[in-house]
Amino acid sequence: MKIAVLSDIHGNLPALQAVAADIESWRPDMVVVAGDIVNRGPLSLDCLQFVQQKQVSQGWQPLRGNHEDFVIACGFPDAPQDGVEYEMWQFAHWAYQQLNGDVKALEAMSEQFSWSAPDGSEFRAVHASMRGNRDGIYRNVPDEKLAAQIAPAPAVFVTAHTHRPLIREFNGCLVINVGAVGAPFDKDVRASYGQFTWRPDGWQAQIVRVPYDRAQTERDYVTSGFLDGAGPLAQLMLVELRKAHGLIYRWADCYLDAIQSGAITLEESVRELLIAEDVRPFLGAPGWVL
Ligand SMILES: [Mn+2]
């Protein structure tokens, strides 16, 4: 039995196409997409439709990540339509509009995938953890917290969300973070996914890295309208793609309070972060040149 798990596509169609081709050449029995197909990237609708076609033709199983939830929430009656709270979620509203407000397919996605091997061992995949789809499993997680995040522990626990690949043996459970297709944050720009094999002697797992046409993804940022229409945070997302390292949490830690209190605008905060010494080398067209 061979299972492939890909995750965190984030509207990056060239990365998704490259990973799908690699997966198909491996000929798995099952393919799970562990969430964040849409949002915080240029081609959410194309990526959703790509996965839906694979669901119909090859039985791919999509799960719902926190970014599916964020896009769904844009259609709630109490979603902010202006002001600073709207501006900070402008990229999600942009994705919601790209989907023409049709989020039924996102709402229909399951929270987890589970398969039992003939020896009774369970393979389970979720977006982040059993505690929720924003509760990521990171490299330095203490044992006690990890135990709670995967409980009840299966033989193989597959997670994503953090965009950082990880393989860890924990109390007889193989914990694997498959990393991200669309925006890896481990300083390796190649797309990431996981291959899992069950044989009568047990489970094996490996992380696979796949190069893709990143120049095309940058062109998609422009031609889709994402870079102009999704707000200043789209500039951070473009730099994250080039740097293969996350910037949004750092931005939030530094500026969220100041933005919400009106001490700085969202655009000013993004400009300030982009001129930091370690970020500046990754600036350039089609993004802001500061
Ligand atoms: Mn996520």
Query: What pLDDT does 164 receive?
Result: 98
Does residue 85 belong to any structural domain of this protein?
yes
The tokens for 27 are 């000929």
Average pLDDT over residues 203-209: 98
Q: Which domain holds residue 121?
A: 2-210
The predicted model gives 203-218 an average pLDDT of 98
Residue 69, pLDDT score: 98
Is-contact 11 41, C-beta < 8 A? yes
Please give the distance, rounded to the nearest whole angstrom, from the Cα atom of residue 70 to the centre of ligand 1. Answer: 10
What's the confidence (pLDDT) of residue 134? 98
Burial class (CB in 10 A: 0-12, 13-18, 19+), 239: buried
For the stretch 12-48, pLDDT in tens is 999 999 999 999 999 999 999 999 999 999 999 999 9
Specify the pLDDT at position 181: 99
Cβ neighbours of residue 269 under 8 Å, at least 6 residues apart? Answer: 232, 251, 254, 255, 258, 259
pLDDT of residue 123: 98
Query: pLDDT tens digit string along 230-242?
Result: 999 999 999 999 9
Please tell me the distance from the alpha carbon of residue 246 to that of residue 230, in angstroms, as a whole number.
Answer: 18
Given this model, what pLDDT does residue 62 score?
A: 98
**Residues 159 and 275 grouped into a single domain:** no
Ligand 1 centre from 130 Cα, in Å? Answer: 14
pLDDT at residue 243, as a whole number? 98
Same structural domain, 196 and 91: yes
Q: How far, in Å, from the CA of 148 to the mean position of ligand 1?
A: 19
118 C-alpha vs ligand 1 centroid, how far in Å? Answer: 31
Residue 248, domain member (yes or no) = yes
Average pLDDT over residues 199-212: 98
- What separation in Å is there between the alpha carbon of 161 and the centre of ligand 1? 4
Backbone angles phi, psi at 31, to 5 degrees: -130, 125
Ligand 1 center to 192 CA (angstroms): 14
The number of domains in the chain is 2
Is 221 domain-assigned? no
Report in angstroms the alpha-carbon separations of 211 from 47, 135, 200, 218, 264. Answer: 18, 28, 33, 15, 38
CA of 7 to the centre of ligand 1 (A): 9
**Are residues 201 and 256 both part of a single domain?**
no
Question: What is the C-alpha to C-alpha distance for residues 38 and 33, in angstroms, rounded to an integer?
Answer: 12
Query: What's the gap in Å between 12 CA and the centre of ligand 1?
Result: 14
Looking at this protein, which amino acid is placed at residue 161? H
The average confidence (pLDDT) of the chain is: 98
Query: For the residues 122-151, what does the mean pLDDT come to?
Result: 98
- Report the alpha-carbon distance of residue 142 to residue 239 in Å, rounded: 31
What's the 37 CA to ligand 1 centre distance in angstroms? 9
Q: Please tell me whether residue 218 adopts helix, strand or coil conformation.
A: helix
In this structure, the answer to whether residues 13 and 102 fall within a common structural domain is yes
Ligand 1 geometric centre to CA of 199 (Å): 31
Which of 178, 210, 242 is the endpoint of a domain? 210
Whether 22 contacts 58, CB under 8 Å = no
Give a yes or no: residue 260 inside a domain.
yes
| Ligand 1 center to 201 CA (angstroms) | 33
What pLDDT is attached to residue 152? 98
Q: How far apart are the CA of 74 and the centre of ligand 1, in A?
A: 17
Give the per-residue pLDDT at 157: 98
C-alpha 270/C-alpha 230 separation (Å) is 13
> How far is the C-alpha of 113 from the C-alpha of 44, rounded, in Å?
22
For residue range 147-197, list pLDDT tens digits in order: 999 999 999 999 999 999 999 999 999 999 999 999 999 999 999 999 999
Q: What is the mean pLDDT of residues 260-284?
A: 97
User: Which residues, chain by chain, have CB under 5 Å from ion ligand 1?
Assistant: 36, 65-66, 161
- pLDDT at residue 209, as a whole number: 99
What integer pLDDT is reported at residue 270 of this predicted model?
98
Averaged pLDDT for residues 55-62: 98
Residue 82 within any structural domain of the chain? yes
**Same domain (yes/no): 117, 236:** no
